[in-house]
C-alpha cells in the first residue's frame, strides 16, 4: 500500500501530490483574478500582433511591457497556442477582454507551466539530506519539503487566483539551486541567467550567485583552513561562466541593442518614478518607517506643533502608486534603499583581510569561509529577505522569493524550521489583502489554515518538539485577531468609509514586525555560523 515504509527509489507519492494540487488549481479557474490577468493578456496581444521593434514602445494599454525580453518571447510562444482558444484576445485594442475561452487559456497556461516548478521540486527533494531510520512516508524530510513547496499557500494564491507566472519562474530558480546543491554549477549558472532575463527582480540575489560562483567554482581548491587559495584560480571556468552570461544576455537583449532600443527597454524595466511603497505597503522596514512618520505627524498636529496645511496631502495607501514625501522623518530615495539593501549584510569584521576592504555583503562570508552550496543557499535567502526588507517599491509578493528557497533549509535544521514557521505564517498572512473579494475570503482562510496546520504539525513531528517560544506563538495567534478585526469587525464599523486604509495599515505593520524579527534571527544564525568557523580556525 502507498502508506507503508517506502523503498528509497519509490517516488509514486510525488505525482499524487503534484496531481492533487493541480486539480485544486483547476477548480480555481473561475475564481477572482486581478488586473495582472489583463496585463498578461495585453502582453500576449502585443507580442503576437506587433513586430519586435514595437514591443517596448507600445502603450495603448496602461500595462506596458516591463519584463525583460526573454519573458516577452515566452509570451510570444504562448500566444501561438492562445490563438486556438480565442483570436480576439490577441487584438491589442481589446482592452480588458475576458471571454470564458480567454480565462480558460490563461489559467491553464499557468497550471501547465507549473510543470517546471514541479520538476524543480523533485530535484530539490532528491538533494535533501536523508536521515537513516525507517520512518513512515509522511515523516521523511523530502516528503515534507515536497508538500511545503508544491502546496505553498502564497504560490497558490498569487499564481492561481491573483494571476501571475511565479510558479514557472520560481521553478527555474529552485532548479538552479538544486543544480548547485548537486554540484552541477554550470547548469545552475545557466538557469539563473535565463531567470534574470525573464524577470529582473532576481537581480537582488544576483550578487549572491556571483560571489558564490566566483569563489567556489572559479577557485578550484581551498586552503586547509577554508580560506581562499589564490593559486587555484581557473581562468577556463571563469571564461565558461562569462560566456554563459553573455550568450544568454545576447539572445535576450541582442535584438534590442541592434535596434538601438536599449535605453527604452531599460527605462521600462526600471521605472523609478514609482513611489517608495506600493499601494499596499509590503510588510518591510519602510512600512514601519511610514507608520512612525504618520504617527509622529498625527501627534504633531494634535499637539499643535505642526500646521496641517503644510503637510503633504498624498495618501500612501490610497490605491495608486505615487511619489510622496514623508512628513517628519527624512524622505527616502532609491539610492538610500540600495545602500540599505547592501548594508544589512555588512558585519563587523574581527580580522579584516587587507585585500578586501570593501565588498561587505554576507557574501563576504561566503568569500572567506565558504560552506558549500548550503551556505550559498542561506546567503541567497538572506539576500532575498534583505532586499524585501529594504528595497524600493517592493511588492508584498516578493516575500515568496525568500520563503520558497528557505523551505529547503527548514527541513534540515531545527533552528531554521523555527524561523521558517514564523516567516512563512507572517509572510503568507501579509498576502491576504491581495484577495479582497468576499467570495474568495473562505478560500484564502481555508487554504491558509491548511498550509499552516500542515507546516506546523509536520515540522514539529520531524524535529520532535516545539519549535517556537511562547512569545512567538502569541504573536502568531494575534494574526487571527488581526484578521477578524480587519475583515469582520472593521467593515461593520462607522470608520470604514472615512478611513478605509486602516485595515491595510494594521495588517502591513503587524506583519512587518514578524518579518523583521525573522530577518534578524536569520541574520544572527548566519553570523553565528561564521563565528563558529572563526572559532574552529583558532
Partner 1 sequence: MENWSLVSICVLFGLTARWAVSLNSYSGAGKPPMFGDYEAQRHWQEVTYNLPVHEWYFNTTDNNLNYWGLDYPPLTAYHSLLCAHVAKLINPDWVELHASRGHESYGHKLFMRATVLVADLLIYIPAVVLYSFYLSEGSNKKKVCTVLCILLYPGLILIDYGHFQYNSISLGLALWGVVVLGLGWDVLGSLAFVLSLNYKQMELYHSLPFFCYLLGKCFKQGLAGRGLFLLVKIAVTVLVTFALCWLPFLSDPGQILQVVHRLFPVGRGLFEDKVANTWCSLNVLIKIKTILSTDTQLYFSLTTTLLAILPSSIKLLMKPTLWQFKLALVNSSLAFFLFSFQVHEKSILLPAFMLPLFLKDGLLVPYVVTSLAFLFFSIYLLSAFEHCSEDKLRLGPYRRLLICMPRMDLGRVTKWKFYFSITAMAGLSFMSVALAPPDQLPDLFPLLVSVFSYLHFLGLLLYFNIVQIAEPLQSVRKNQKKSN
CA–CA gap between residue 538 and residue 396 (Å, rounded): 43
By beta-carbon proximity to partner 1, the closer residue of 387 and 452 is 452
Quick one: cell of 48? 503576437
Minimal distance in Å, beta carbon 161 to partner 1? Answer: 10
DSSP string, 482-532: HHHIIIIIGGGSTHHHH-TTHHHHHHHHHHHHHHHHHHHHHHHHHHHHHHH
Minimum gap (Å) between residue 10 Cβ and partner 1: 14
330 CB contacts (<8 Å, ≥6 apart)? none
For the chain, the residue count is 538
DSSP conformation class of 532: H
Taking the complex as a whole, the smallest distance from the CB of residue 277 to partner 1 amounts, in Å, to 31
Whichever of 25 and 179 has its CB closer to partner 1, that residue is 25
CB of 17 to partner 1, least distance (A): 11
Using CB under 8 A, list all residues that contact partner 1: 1-3, 16, 19-20, 23-24, 26-31, 104, 138-139, 438-440, 442-443, 446-447, 449-450, 453-454, 457-458, 461
Return the CA Rg of the chain.
24
For the chain, the farthest-separated pair of C-alpha atoms sits apart, in whole angstroms, at 74
CA distances from 401 to 105, 116, 166 (A): 26, 16, 10
* HEC letters along 241-280: HHHHHHHHHHHHHHHHHHCCCHHHHHHHHCCCCCCCECCC
CB of 3 to partner 1, least distance (A): 4
Q: Least separation, in Å, of the C-beta of 431 and partner 1? A: 16
Alpha-carbon distances, residue 160 vs 28, 328, 536 (angstroms): 7, 41, 48
Residue closer to partner 1 (CB basis): 16 or 356: 16
Distance between CA atoms of 424 and 426, rounded to whole angstroms? 5
Beta carbons of 127 and 186 less than 8 angstroms apart = no
**Closest by Cα among 327, 302, 371 to 528:** 371
Q: Say how far apart CA 491 and CA 488 lie, in whole Å.
A: 6
Please check whether residue 376 is in contact with residue 215, taking contact to mean a CB–CB distance below 8 angstroms: no
Residue ranges in 272-317 assigned as alpha helix (H)? 285-302
Amino acid at each position: 500500500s502507498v502508506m507503508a515504509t517506502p523503498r528509497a527509489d519509490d517516488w509514486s507519492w510525488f505525482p499524487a501530490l503534484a496531481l492533487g494540487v493541480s486539480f485544486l488549481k483547476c477548480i480555481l479557474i473561475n475564481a477572482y483574478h486581478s488586473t495582472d490577468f489583463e496585463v498578461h493578456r495585453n502582453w500576449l496581444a502585443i507580442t503576437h500582433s506587433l513586430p519586435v521593434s514595437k514591443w517596448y514602445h507600445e502603450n495603448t494599454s496602461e500595462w506596458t511591457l516591463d519584463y525583460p525580453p526573454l519573458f516577452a518571447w515566452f509570451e510570444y510562444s504562448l500566444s501561438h497556442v492562445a490563438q486556438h482558444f480565442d483570436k480576439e484576445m490577441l487584438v491589442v485594442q481589446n482592452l480588458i477582454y475576458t471571454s470564458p475561452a480567454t480565462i480558460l487559456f490563461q489559467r491553464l497556461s499557468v497550471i501547465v507551466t507549473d510543470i517546471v516548478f514541479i520538476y524543480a521540486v523533485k530535484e530539490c527533494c532528491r538533494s535533501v539530506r536523508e536521515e537513516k531510520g525507517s520512518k513512515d512516508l509522511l515523516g521523511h524530510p523530502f516528503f515534507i519539503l515536497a508538500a511545503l513547496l508544491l502546496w505553498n499557500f502564497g504560490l497558490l494564491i498569487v499564481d492561481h487566483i491573483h494571476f501571475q507566472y511565479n510558479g514557472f519562474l520560481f521553478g527555474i530558480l529552485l532548479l538552479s539551486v538544486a543544480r548547485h546543491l548537486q554540484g552541477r554549477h554550470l547548469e545552475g549558472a545557466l538557469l539563473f541567467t535565463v531567470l534574470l532575463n525573464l524577470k529582473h527582480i532576481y537581480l537582488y540575489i544576483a550578487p549572491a550567485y556571483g560571489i558564490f560562483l566566483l569563489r567556489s567554482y572559479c577557485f578550484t581548491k581551498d586552503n586547509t583552513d577554508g580560506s581562499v587559495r589564490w593559486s587555484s584560480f581557473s581562468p577556463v571556468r571563469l571564461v565558461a561562466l562569462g560566456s554563459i552570461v553573455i550568450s544568454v544576455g545576447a539572445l535576450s537583449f541582442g535584438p534590442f541593442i541592434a535596434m538601438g532600443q536599449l535605453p527604452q527597454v531599460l527605462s521600462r524595466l526600471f521605472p523609478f518614478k514609482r513611489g517608495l511603497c506600493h499601494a499596499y505597503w509590503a510588510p518591510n522596514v519602510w512600512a514601519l518607517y511610514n507608520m512612525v512618520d504618520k504617527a509622529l505627524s498625527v501627534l504633531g498636529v494634535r499637539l499643535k506643533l505642526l500646521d496641517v496645511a503644510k503637510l503633504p496631502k498624498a495618501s500612501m495607501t490610497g490605491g495608486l502608486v505615487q511619489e510622496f514625501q514623508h512628513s517628519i522623518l527624512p524622505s527616502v530615495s532609491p539610492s538610500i534603499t540600495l545602500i540599505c539593501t547592501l548594508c544589512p549584510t555588512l558585519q563587523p569584521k574581527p580580522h579584516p583581510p587587507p585585500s578586501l576592504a570593501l565588498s561587505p555583503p554576507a557574501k563576504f562570508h561566503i568569500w572567506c569561509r565558504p560552506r558549500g552550496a548550503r551556505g550559498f543557499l542561506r546567503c541567497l535567502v538572506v539576500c532575498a529577505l534583505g532586499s524585501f526588507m529594504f528595497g524600493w517599491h517592493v511588492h508584498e509578493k516578493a516575500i515568496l522569493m525568500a520563503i520558497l528557497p528557505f523551505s529547503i533549509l527548514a527541513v534540515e535544521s531545527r533552528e531554521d524550521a523555527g524561523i521558517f514557521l514564523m516567516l512563512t505564517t507572517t509572510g503568507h498572512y501579509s498576502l491576504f489583502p491581495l484577495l479582497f473579494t468576499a467570495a474568495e475570503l473562505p478560500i484564502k482562510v481555508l487554504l491558509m489554515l491548511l498550509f499552516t496546520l500542515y507546516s506546523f504539525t509536520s515540522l514539529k513531528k520531524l524535529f520532535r518538539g516545539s519549535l517556537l517560544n511562547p512569545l512567538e506563538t502569541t504573536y502568531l495567534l494575534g494574526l487571527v485577531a488581526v484578521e477578524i478585526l480587519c475583515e469582520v469587525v472593521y467593515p461593520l464599523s462607522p470608520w470604514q468609509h472615512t478611513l478605509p486604509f486602516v485595515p491595510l495599515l494594521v495588517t502591513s505593520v503587524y506583519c512587518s514586525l514578524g518579518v523583521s524579527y525573522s530577518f534578524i534571527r536569520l541574520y544572527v544564525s548566519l553570523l553565528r555560523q561564521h563565528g563558529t568557523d572563526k572559532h574552529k580556525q583558532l
